[in-house]
Amino acid sequence: MRALVCSIIVLFLSGCYKTELDGLDNNPFDAEYAGPAIFTLASDTVVLLQNPNGSTNRRFIQRIRVHTEYFLIPNTTYVVEGVNGANGNTVSLLSNQVEEGIIELSTDNTSSGAQYCWEVRLTNQGSIGARNTVCSIADQ
């Protein structure tokens, strides 16, 4: 009888300890991803180019690191989309185009001392996962 009562009490208490599934936001392919930034600025540089009409094009190149180490499944194929904050242009790069975890996004005709941003998104099969904005100042 005591063993029965103890067993039932254990069952009773076990109904309280199992938690629900909360805080699922650590997958970079989740649009609600809340972990460390997947895209960070690795470096930037300004390249001066000569236009055919003789004017100078200040091309601001931002090298952005893709932190695939945050992927929950390593060696996953993915697509990176970059939306230029200055002109709205969109660039897409497949994972096999990403060399050593770095992508290069460039903005033409930049001004010295101005800040340029890209909203970089991790996508797969047409839908968007983690995203964050990477900004830097074209100060050269």
Partner 1 sequence: MARTLFISKGLVFAAFMGSAGMLVGQGTGTIRLLVDAPGVAFVVDGKHRMEQREVTLLEGLHQLSIWAPERVVVDTNVFVIAGRTADLKVELPYSEAFLDFKREYGSFSNRRAWTRAVPAAVTGAGVVWSIASFVKYNRAHQRLEDDRTDYENSVEPAGIAALKEVTIPDHQDELRKARTGLIIASGFTLVSAGVTWYIRGRTARWEAPHFDDPEKVRFDGLSWMPGPNGGSWAAGLTIPLSR
Q: Which residues bind partner 1 (CB under 8 A)?
A: 1, 4-5, 8-9, 11-12, 14-16, 18, 20-21, 24, 26-27, 29-32, 71-73, 76-78, 123-129
User: Measured from the CB atom, is 79 or 138 closer to partner 1?
Assistant: 79
User: Smallest distance, Å, CB 104 to partner 1?
Assistant: 24
**How is residue 41 written in tokens?**
């600025």
**Letter string b/e over residues 18-45, b meaning 16 or more CB atoms within 10 A of that residue's CB:** eeeeeeeeebbbeeebeeebbbeebebe
User: Smallest distance, Å, CB 47 to partner 1?
Assistant: 34
Q: Is the dihedral of CA 25, 28, 31, 37 positive or negative?
A: positive
Pick from 119, 108, 116, 122: which is nearest to 137 by CA? 116
User: Measured from the CB atom, is 27 or 45 closer to partner 1?
Assistant: 27
**How is residue 91 written in tokens?**
């660039």
User: Measured from the CB atom, is 63 or 71 closer to partner 1?
Assistant: 71
Q: In the Cβ-directed half-sphere of 87, how many Cα atoms lie within 13 Å?
A: 9
User: Measured from the CB atom, is 26 or 56 closer to partner 1?
Assistant: 26
User: Smallest distance, Å, CB 67 to partner 1?
Assistant: 15
User: Smallest distance, Å, CB 17 to partner 1?
Assistant: 10
